[in-house]
Amino acid sequence: MASVTGLSNPRAYLLDNRRFVGIMFLLPALVYILLLVGFPFLLAIAFGFSDVTVGNTDLSFVGFRNYEAVWENNIFRQVFGNTVMFTLVSQFFILIFANILAIIFTQEFTGKWFARFIFILPWATPVSLAAIGWLYMFDTKLSPVDYLLLQTGFLGPDGVWGPGRNLLWLARPALSQVSVIFVQVWRMTPLATVILMAGLSSIPTDILDQAEVDGSRFMRTLLQIKLPLILPIMVIALLFSMITMFGDMTVVYLLTRGGPIDYTRILGLYSFQIGIEGGNLAQGAAMALFAFPLLLALAIVMLRVASRAEVR
């Protein structure tokens, strides 16, 4: 009887079809991704193999000439090295701080909801607004950080860090790199913490209760039970953060514009400056796509690691 009803009403039959319903639910997200990511990505590939500029929009095929020119550019090599260094160093600290904070925020203590709310603000705040705030914090003359160091004796005539009144955070090569990494860690740690908190909260309580009954202390439970169980989630959080930061340019653009010289210039910013501000769309696209094979290989490896580490 049900089958006869389904045949007489094609709409009801389609709504009962799992494959059709699944496709219909996925279709909006698929269209959104294709329009927002797929089309610009294909256009960037076309630009990278052409000689297109702002003044010449003809897509004349030039092969790998743009990629060869990019790799022979000494500035690009330094920029690529800066990008890798910033990403790896920041991820190291993000992973450490996120694990510590996730463990803290999954414990019961007074005011936990307020602490979580305050801690999530760096990630919830628009990146441009946050970067402008840090631009003031690292100001050459009016930096509140330098003022505190001056008042505590770290700066000044007899200061531990020198007789000057300002450290010039964004004007010195080493300090400018430290400043960029610090802001990136400050911005991305909350997101990684939230992901790890979800992983810790999903651990079955009977496993933790059994460990407690067996006399397992805090560190042993953490190292032998909790961290191995959330390792797949940790790898996914790390992968997401690395890909996000590898292509991000907002923080560096607002803080240093890539200076001093090229010590803080990164791949996303350099491709923007060459392709958009400089008008050489072909070389800008080639620079932006240069890291794609590396990120693709990294994503495949990390996803395999997460899959193998998953406890079934």
Please determine, for residue 137, whether its predicted confidence score (pLDDT) is greater than 80: yes
CB contact at 8 A, 173 and 85? no
In this prediction, residue 12 carries a pLDDT of 64
Mean pLDDT across 240-251: 85
User: Would you give the distance in Å from CA 103 to the centre of its chain?
Assistant: 21
In this prediction, residue 157 carries a pLDDT of 82
In this prediction, residue 6 carries a pLDDT of 47
How many residues does this entry show for the chain?
Answer: 312
Q: Which residue has the higher pLDDT, 12 or 48?
A: 48
Query: What are the angstrom distances between the C-alpha of 163 and each of 157, 175, 275?
Result: 4, 17, 43
Please determine, for residue 183, whether its predicted confidence score (pLDDT) is greater than 90: yes
pLDDT tens per residue across span 211-225? 888 887 888 888 888
In this prediction, residue 2 carries a pLDDT of 46
pTM exceeds 0.95, yes or no: no
Average pLDDT, rounded, for the chain: 86
Domain spanning 64-309: CATH superfamily: MetI-like (1.10.3720.10)
In this prediction, residue 264 carries a pLDDT of 94
Mean pLDDT across 233-247: 85
In this prediction, residue 10 carries a pLDDT of 65
**Domain boundaries along the sequence of the chain:** 13-48, 64-309
Mean pLDDT across 284-306: 88
Contacts of 201 (CB under 8 A, 6+ apart): 106
In this prediction, residue 13 carries a pLDDT of 63
Please determine, for residue 201, whether its predicted confidence score (pLDDT) is greater than 90: no
Strand partners, 61: 50
pLDDT tens per residue across span 248-276? 889 999 999 998 888 999 999 999 999 99
Helix H or strand E segment including 32: helix 18-33
